[in-house]
């Protein structure tokens, strides 16, 4: 059983298109995240949700819109894709309010904008 699963694993699309990445966790966690990893492997948090409510929204263009239909799902929708959006996007989850709990990551979605 995959704890945090995201789809698709690979996504190749043209500039200007709109695309979505889906994420689901079956760990019963209350907190979910989206991270962006660039070609140098730097990891940057984009969004954090606690129980379907947005908690962290780092400096991310408003073309990126997260949607959490329930606490087990956090999807990422991207409008008007640009070349610079090419990266690997990771979904993650953790327990709420527990300082010593680690994050569980999905396998990543490699987005290539051409």
The strand ranges marked E within 3-63 are 4-7, 10-13, 19-25, 31-37, 43-50, 53-57
Alpha helices per DSSP H over 28-108: none
Containing 8, the helix (H) or strand (E) segment is: none
45 binds another protein (CB under 8 A): yes
Q: Does 101 bind another protein (CB under 8 A)?
A: yes
Nearer to another protein, 39 or 62 (CB): 39
Using rule CB under 8 A, residue 84 touches another protein: no
Instruction: Tell me the closest approach of the beta carbon of residue 15 to another protein, in angstroms.
Output: 25
The answer to whether the CB of 69 falls within 8 A of the CB of 23 is no
Region from 14-22, 60-68, 76-84, 91-99 binding another protein, contact rule CB under 8 A:
91-99
Sign of CA dihedral 69, 46, 107, 4: negative
Which of 1, 70, 99, 114 touches another protein by CB under 8 A? Answer: 99
Q: Which residues bind another protein (CB under 8 A)?
A: 4, 31, 33, 40-43, 45, 48, 56, 90, 92, 94, 96-97, 99-108
């Amino acid at each position: 059983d995959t704890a945090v699963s995201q789809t698709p694993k690979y996504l190749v699309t043209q500039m200007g298109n709109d695309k979505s990445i889906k994420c689901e966790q079956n760990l019963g966690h209350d907190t979910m995240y989206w991270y962006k990893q660039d070609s140098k492997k730097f990891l940057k948090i984009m969004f954090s949700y606690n129980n379907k409510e947005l908690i962290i929204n780092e400096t991310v263009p408003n073309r990126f819109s997260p949607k959490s239909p329930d606490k087990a799902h956090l999807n990422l929708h991207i409008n008007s894709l640009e070349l610079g959006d090419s990266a690997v996007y990771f979904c993650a989850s953790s327990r709420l309010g527990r300082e010593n709990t680690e994050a569980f990551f999905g396998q990543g979605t490699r987005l290539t904008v051409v």
